């Protein structure tokens, strides 16, 4: 039966010498990429749009980021979820209670419930 050390040695040996990609595979990948670029350019021309030049700087970076997430609304949703996750993970309950208004424990909605629970 194979032990953990044997598996570690086997995986280390496999990671030390990764198999090289064959030139035929690299040629096929490059040809597929070039064909896809041509299809997208033809599709844009048929739609009557000129290929857009990429903007540089911060605006261009935001454009590419929004495009990677599927558009502006998707990026806004991801950022909102990230902010909520950061707030939930970072804020301790006391701070969170202060931010959301708190005060829920100040109201005694059932004052008579203490009577049956008294010891004595």
* DSSP per position, 94-109: HHHHHHT---TTS--S
**Per-residue b/e over 73-107, b at no fewer than 16 CB within 10 Å?**
eebeeeeeeeeeeeeeeeeeeeeeeeeeeeeeeee
**pLDDT of the residue at 89:** 78
**pLDDT of the residue at 29:** 95
Q: What angle do CA 25, 29, 35 make, to 5 degrees?
A: 145
- Identify whether 65 is part of a domain: yes
Domain range enclosing 77? 58-88
Residue 26's pLDDT band, with cuts at 50, 70 and 90, is very high
- Domain count of the fold of the chain: 1
- Identify whether 66 is part of a domain: yes
Weakest-pLDDT range from 14-23, 31-40, 53-62 = 53-62
- Identify whether 69 is part of a domain: yes
pTM listed for this prediction: 0.34
DSSP run (H or E) holding 103: none
- Identify whether 4 is part of a domain: no
Query: What mean pLDDT do residues 4-13 have?
Result: 90
- Identify whether 78 is part of a domain: yes
């Amino acid at each position: 039966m194979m032990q953990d050390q044997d598996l570690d040695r086997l995986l280390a040996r496999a990671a030390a010498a990764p198999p090289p990609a064959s030139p035929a595979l690299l040629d096929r990948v490059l040809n597929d990429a070039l064909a896809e670029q041509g299809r997208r350019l033809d599709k844009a021309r048929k739609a009557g749009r000129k290929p857009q030049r990429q903007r540089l700087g911060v605006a261009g970076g935001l454009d590419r980021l929004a495009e990677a997430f599927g558009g502006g609304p998707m990026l806004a949703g991801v950022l909102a979820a990230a902010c909520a996750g950061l707030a939930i993970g970072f804020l301790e309950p006391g701070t969170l209670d202060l931010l959301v208004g708190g005060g829920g424990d100040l109201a005694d909605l059932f004052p008579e419930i203490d009577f049956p629970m008294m010891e004595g």
